[in-house]
Amino acid sequence: MPDNSLPVLNWLTDMDGVLVHENRAVPGAAEFLEALRRAERNFLVLTNNSIFTPRDLRARLSRSGIDLPEMNIWTSALSTAAFLKDQSPGATVYVIGEAGLTTALHEAGMILSETDAEYVVLGETRAWSLPAITRAINLIIGGAKFIATNPDPTGPSPEGILPATGSVAALITRATGIEPYYCGKPNPYMMRAALNRIGAHSEQAVMIGDRMDTDVISGLEAGMRTILVLSGITQRGDLGRFPYRPTRICDSIADVVPLVEEFAR
Ligand SMILES: [Mg+2]
């Protein structure tokens, strides 16, 4: 368990449901980021979305009224790239995904290949291609290792839900009998890699999220303190179902602003 007597100088926070909600800033989000900057805390904003690069996300957030430098954004695509860079530097990979994933893998020194791939790397895409999925299946049957960015089965869209990475992974698993290794939440590797990125130790770090089953559990498993905000998925009435609890519960990010100072003492 984390040593709660040490000051918290490093902050990780989930993005959707905490800072933004359907492309609108949650009240208090801008003030929270300003408090972190003013106090000179290390911080990263995390998202399991692997479609966008940090630059794309920065532009999208800025349209919601949130000013966040690229260097403060950590995606499941970056976590996946960090994992491969550590595990298999310069590996050949076959990628199903968008610029967020291909850019991260390229910058991590991976070699993108349609044949002879050592890894199949699956991320989010909005244009699922049966030929690409078929190629991935055959590469895995031929011995390629199977990695995916995040297990989320669905995502939101104006027309209803969309099948997401976890659902396409299930299709590939059904065809191959091979389960992927996921590098995004709820794998605590996503938090560990984020802490490495900012040079922080887990005992002096806190993770904020709106989901008990992803944000809070992975923060806890990475040895961090955790804050649940009730502005997203998990509601107060759900808390009793979980065998673990966050360090602190707040109604929204607005109530976290004073904790930037309180947790540093
Ligand atoms: Mg969330």
Q: pLDDT grade, residue 263 (50/70/90)?
A: very high
Who's near 62: CB < 8 A, 6+ residues apart? 68
Mean pLDDT of the region 147-172: 92
The 10s digit of each residue's pLDDT in 109-156 is: 999 999 899 999 999 998 889 999 999 999 999 999 999 999 999 887
Q: What is the residue range of 149's domain?
A: 77-182
Catalytic residue flag (residue 238): no
Pair 245, 172 in one domain? no
Q: What pLDDT, on the 0 to 100 scale, is given for residue 23?
A: 84
Q: What pLDDT, on the 0 to 100 scale, is given for residue 1?
A: 55
Q: Are 229 and 251 in contact (CB under 8 A)?
A: yes
Mean of per-residue pLDDT scores for the chain = 95
The pTM (predicted TM-score) of the whole model is 0.94
Q: Is 85 helix (H, G, I), strand (E, B) or coil?
A: helix
| C-alpha 57 – ligand 1 centre gap (Å) | 15
What's the burial of 25, exposed, middle or buried (CB within 10 Å: 0-12/13-18/19+)? middle
Q: Is residue 58 part of a domain?
A: no
Pair 81, 172 in one domain? yes
Q: Are 168 and 138 in contact (CB under 8 A)?
A: no
Q: Is residue 126 part of a domain?
A: yes
Q: Is residue 68 part of a domain?
A: no
Tell whether 16 is in a known binding site.
yes
| C-alpha 214 – ligand 1 centre gap (Å) | 8
Pair 166, 197 in one domain? no
Q: Is residue 231 part of a domain?
A: yes
Q: How distant, in Å, are the alpha carbons of 145, 154, 176 from that of 113? A: 14, 28, 20
Q: Is residue 223 part of a domain?
A: yes
| C-alpha 76 – ligand 1 centre gap (Å) | 13
Answer with the residue of higher pLDDT: 116 or 256. Answer: 256
Pair 85, 132 in one domain? yes
Q: Is residue 61 part of a domain?
A: no
Q: pLDDT grade, residue 45 (50/70/90)?
A: very high
Catalytic residue flag (residue 116): no
Q: Is residue 62 part of a domain?
A: no
Q: What DSSP character marks residue 80? A: H
Q: Are 74 and 45 in contact (CB under 8 A)?
A: yes
Q: Is residue 57 part of a domain?
A: no
Could you give the residue ranges of the DSSP H alpha helices within 116-201?
130-141, 165-176, 189-197
Q: What pLDDT, on the 0 to 100 scale, is given for residue 156?
A: 78
From 14, 56, 152, 215, active-site residue = 14
CATH code of the domain containing 24: 3.40.50.1000
Last residue of a domain, which of 182, 215, 248? 182
The 10s digit of each residue's pLDDT in 182-193 is: 999 999 999 999
- Concatenating the DSSP letter of every residue in 4-52 gives TTS---EEEEESBTTTEETTEEPTTHHHHHHHHHHTT-EEEEEE---SS
Pair 81, 173 in one domain? yes
Please count the structural domains in the chain: 2
